[in-house]
Amino acid sequence: MSVRNIFYRSIKSRGLRLTAQRKAVIDCLVASKKPLSAEDIYLHVQRRGLGINLATVYRTLDTLVESGLAERVGMELHRAYYTLCRGRKHLHHFFCKGCGNSYDLPHCPVKERTTEDLIPEAFTVTSHRYEVYGYCGKCSS
């Protein structure tokens, strides 16, 4: 079964309706190698000839995030980007300030700790961000 269909089924298994717009947004994200903004998705879908409203894109993305199927990332410049959660693993990255490439980090600081250890009181953790910046081997010299 294709990745796409796995997401389609996840939508239905949560009691949500599998609409043409939701399919289009998922297809877009499945096809993309990098996180996309709501507007990116809106334009991609339009280009494929399917009509979709920007508000619907936003609502669909919210739905995906709330369902645990997607993640919001890269809010650095006052704009959210979205990426599908494939499998169960999310990644953290090293960003090279020289060449702009990014590399996966081999660990997640949150997974390695218990919540009590991490936060003094009984807080609820919903997400986290961990990014390392610097220069890769090529750009260090």
Torsion of CA 23, 56, 64, 19, to 10 degrees: -30
User: Which residue from 25, 3, 2, 5 is spatially nearest to 13, judged by alpha carbons?
Assistant: 5
Residue 119 contacts Zn ion per CB under 5 A: no
CB of 118 to DNA, least distance (A): 26
Yes or no: say if 76 and 86 are a contact pair by the CB < 8 Å rule.
no
SS3 category, 116: helix
Query: 70-99: which residues touch its own copies (CB under 8 A)?
Result: 72, 75-76, 78, 80, 94, 96-97
Query: 94-133: which residues touch DNA (CB under 7 A)?
Result: none
134 binds, among Zn ion, Mn ion, DNA, none (CB under 5 to 8 A by kind): none
Q: Give residues in contact with its own copies (CB under 8 A).
A: 72, 75-76, 78, 80, 94, 96-97, 103, 105-107, 109-110, 113, 117-137, 140
